[in-house]
Structure 1
């Protein structure tokens, strides 16, 4: 996407990418006003009378309400709410062959009323299927689950996890326990049954019943919360490895989404070093932590850190095994959207293919790329 002046709307432009891509993080609008018709009557009435009852955001954000100024549909409505405009503004000009929808708002992941949380997740999923997935075959859905109740979560995964238009299971990084805890095993059993990756998207830290934003407690400003996202993902990743989740569920794939990228390099070094010294305490961990990362974990690009120079960038890419583990995501239509034209420095052809298409196609069970932008087969 080329930047536009304030208040101007972007029109469809000819694709500038030679090859199509998979975008692993597109936030379509899933506010209460659109999902409420899919709720059971009792919850619709409660929402009408008392409001949503969901924990809200604790910090200011960037952009216009957290969105790009030119991402709002010309006919009105929230950013990400109009499929036609999303096609013209992002999917078509950026040659998105497949886009993984990740919705908006994760308030249901921070409430103690598990049945209400489950109803909200089901409503979000059903709305997405009817109004988005059924209308554009290149879009694939994420299953929202009430992760506070793993059994209800497994039921929701089993309900729609076999659909060809469903790509993954999605939860917030804000949680009650780190995700390697055995409390969550019913969720992973369901993920494995349906061959769906378990994706942890940033959000919900310190909200409702979820743990504080940082290990030191709550923070004052959005930039502090944003800076703390890697430490939350660190806790989840270490938990998966040292609780033995990947030994118990060897085919489970986990995606770390929107928490940065290059922090992984020194963290994996540290995990490998500590595992050598302390592995007697976790004998079920058979391999180096970095090996589990390579086989079972994927990371999305947005927002990738800007390195001091190209040499450091290349070293970091090698250190996190990017050719195997990295997948592109734009975070559309959020204010810090990463254009596929500008998100990364120039990559060698094979690495570009892996990051922008092949790694995602493998984990989401998607077909090979169809054609170049000029219509020629690869």
Structure 2
């Protein structure tokens, strides 16, 4: 297909087609815009020294234009011009693809890299208040993610309890980069707060090896962004194994965990390995009464972007079956990043029932959204 034809197809409105919930949207949350939500001491510190946070792009330069699609040009001459940005964002993504709902996953996880936990807590509160006021309350299609200072689980639980009951906030979110694997019992106060507020816990790739977080691989730091992207999956694997074997889902049987922007098909051989090792070593984790793959199926959800497509097309559907896609996979676009997955072209052809599970129903069940959206969005048939 010619480039002009592709662009034309992307611009078509798909009203009335199959509904979409996009589970990974990075709408801008500018630091200048956060100032009015911060205590005076932190506003003054930001005015004097800047945001005082390590940056991922300072170490591993991203793709695209500052990490975004080249065509992404929001009409923001000044960072505080949030209203014009929201209109642009609505037109270029929500309306363009007729999304029934979009889950906002934040625009910067640098807050998870600083040892100053009080500052991190203040920033997280400001980000949550900003998202609620500037996005969630202005467009009913938008749902927010509760940012937490995961460095301090007690402060994190306090923030979850503060805003977790807001109907527009549908999950708690942290970066993949961490000081400890997420199954470690130090995080239990976070999971208890998630359970109290009936919120899933989402892990989004980012901030591996930045600031106080451990290196992005077990062998140390890497040189190039391509290596860095590959390493993210390794860390997500470590978190998944930790959550299962440390017994998080035994202690918190209602907890759901979402792995965001780490790909999807790698899950299948990893689960095979976990099940195999559990059979040989189950005496070390007697609290697990089922194979790891069963805990994954019942408690873990995965977003699709960036999709790994096997070179042989006939392998795709068997791999989808192996990762329990009908139950566990949810569509994500990663808008507006350079590796954005269009809902029109991201997936090979699938049966309608599987497509509906991935593009709508799995996310609706996880986030407590209507099984039939009030305004149908759509994807191409």
Fold in common (TM above 0.5)? yes
Give, in whole Å, the separation in 2 of the partners of 1:47 and 1:4.
45
Aligned match of 1:350 in 350, 353, 373?
Answer: 353
**1:65 and 2:66 correspond:** yes
Give, in whole Å, the separation in 1 of the partners of 2:312 and 2:375.
31
Q: Which residue of 2 aligns with 1:206?
A: 209
Q: TM-score, normalised by structure 1?
A: 0.94
Show structure 1 runs of 5+ residues with no match.
none
Residues 99, 376 of structure 2: 8 Å contact kept: no
Give, in whole Å, the separation in 1 of the partners of 2:138 and 2:375.
23
Tell me the alpha carbon deviations over residues 165-211 of structure 1, each in whole angstroms, 9 at most, x when there is no partner.
11100000000000000000000000001110000000010010001
Give, in whole Å, the separation in 1 of the partners of 2:148 and 2:308.
30
Post-superposition shift, 1:371?
6.2
Which residues in structure 2 correspond to 1:270-289 (within 5 Å)?
270-289=273-292
Number of residues of Structure 1 aligned to a counterpart in Structure 2: 371
Q: Which residue of 1 aligns with 2:189?
A: 186
Aligned match of 2:330 in 322, 327, 339?
Answer: 327
**1:221 and 2:221 correspond:** no
SS in 2 for 1:228: helix
Give, in whole Å, the separation in 1 of the partners of 2:192 and 2:172.
12
Q: Which residue of 2 aligns with 1:32?
A: 31
Q: TM-score, normalised by structure 2?
A: 0.93
- Cα gap change, 1:171 to 1:137, in 2 (>3 Å): same
Post-superposition shift, 1:347?
1.1
Residues 19, 372 of structure 1: 8 Å contact kept: no
Post-superposition shift, 1:74?
3.9
Show structure 2 runs of 5+ residues with no match.
none
Give, in whole Å, the separation in 1 of the partners of 2:180 and 2:285.
19
- Cα gap change, 1:215 to 1:3, in 2 (>3 Å): farther
SS in 2 for 1:277: helix
Post-superposition shift, 1:59?
0.7
- Cα gap change, 1:11 to 1:263, in 2 (>3 Å): closer
Give, in whole Å, the separation in 1 of the partners of 2:263 and 2:310.
12
Residues 19, 356 of structure 2: 8 Å contact kept: no
Give, in whole Å, the separation in 2 of the partners of 1:177 and 1:335.
30
Residues 201, 257 of structure 1: 8 Å contact kept: yes
Q: Which residue of 1 aligns with 2:14?
A: 15
Residues 15, 373 of structure 1: 8 Å contact kept: no
- Cα gap change, 1:262 to 1:10, in 2 (>3 Å): closer
SS in 2 for 1:96: coil
Which residues in structure 2 correspond to 1:94-109 (within 5 Å)?
94-109=97-112
Post-superposition shift, 1:12?
6.0
Mean alpha-carbon deviation: is it higher for 39-48 or for 67-76? 67-76
Give me the CA root mean square deviation. 2.2
Which residues in structure 2 correspond to 1:167-186 (within 5 Å)?
167-186=170-189
**1:258 and 2:261 correspond:** yes
Aligned match of 1:90 in 83, 93, 106?
Answer: 93
Give, in whole Å, the separation in 2 of the partners of 1:244 and 1:220.
35
Give, in whole Å, the separation in 1 of the partners of 2:78 and 2:33.
11
Residues 4, 70 of structure 1: 8 Å contact kept: no
SS in 1 for 2:173: strand
Give, in whole Å, the separation in 2 of the partners of 1:256 and 1:272.
19
SS in 2 for 1:260: coil
Residues 167, 364 of structure 1: 8 Å contact kept: yes
Aligned match of 1:309 in 312, 332, 357?
Answer: 312
